[in-house]
Chains A and B, each alone.
Chain A
Amino acid sequence: MELSYYPGCTLKANAKNFETSALAILQHLDVTVKELEDWYCCGVCFSQTQDNLMQQIAPVRTLVKAKESNRRQLLALCTMCFNTLKRAIEFIKNDKEKRDTIHQFMDREDTKFYGDEVEVIDILTLIRQIGLDKLKAAIVKKAVDLKVASYYGCMLLRPQEIAIDSPDDPVIMEEIITHAGCENVYFPFRTECCGSYQIVSEPEIVRERARKIVGSAVKNGADLMVMLCPLCYYNLDEVQRDIQEEDATFQPLPVLYFTQLLALLMGLKPDLQDFRLHAIDPRPVLKRKGLL
């Protein structure tokens, strides 16, 4: 299995743990990913504003590159990139007029993109395609009674047209966790928005959200929380430190990228992960549960 890979900016900066662990488990599962040459920012939230076509150029250019790579699938690890690219495909496929305008603007590109040539895929769907049995076979470590809270956030589930699972009651993360030999903790805020970019101007919104989301997972007995979005990760990991400062009774919960946990369970070298990057140190829990 071979597919193109789009890392996005954050995975090369703040979310290095995500990239190293994800690439390691994919290699372990015999999947070859080829990083796109000369890629640039996906466009992030800018391209999601409705009326400015200019801002769709970035994701469309990326999709053109993916098409030129002649590989059908394009893996986007960062869920924000996934969301942006996937929505760009929807818009290219469904709005002929705007597509024509973009094509006219992009007159230096030799390749035109029409929407169906590239499939943007997230790592959860990819793991499902690789096969849950194959995943199960790759798990070598047995976590001791590890209760995992899977947090989806918004980007994989909304809007409905690009959702990888039921937007209201998804199961895909829990399904993989089960196959990896851990116990799932259901908590009602697993699809709740983390507060996103409000962290920049209205951080108290994010603090209130983080308190609610983390508190609910802790209440339901979680030992740690896993997720796939670098922004959610920041809002739920870093912000816990702020909450701790103002509230000594707050019970923190270590946060890991989904792929970090899988890499540990597969027995891949722990040193490929830099646990110093975590605001809430996950090492005590991981040691207690036999993963370190």
Chain B
Amino acid sequence: MRIIIYFLISLWLIFLGVILGDYGPWYFAWLVGTVMIVLISAAGGALMDTQLEEEQQHK
């Protein structure tokens, strides 16, 4: 049941994305770009901890 709900939500978001991308391409770009920037920044933080752990293991 849960997967069907997620599937429907995904479809709805894709539909909204298409509409927004058509009428407001820059708004859409902002939305996608912001999510990407936040995730890259978060991944950079997580990566640092992995790097530090590896460094300690080497030592």
Indicate whether A and B interact. no
Interface residues of A (CB under 8 A from B): none
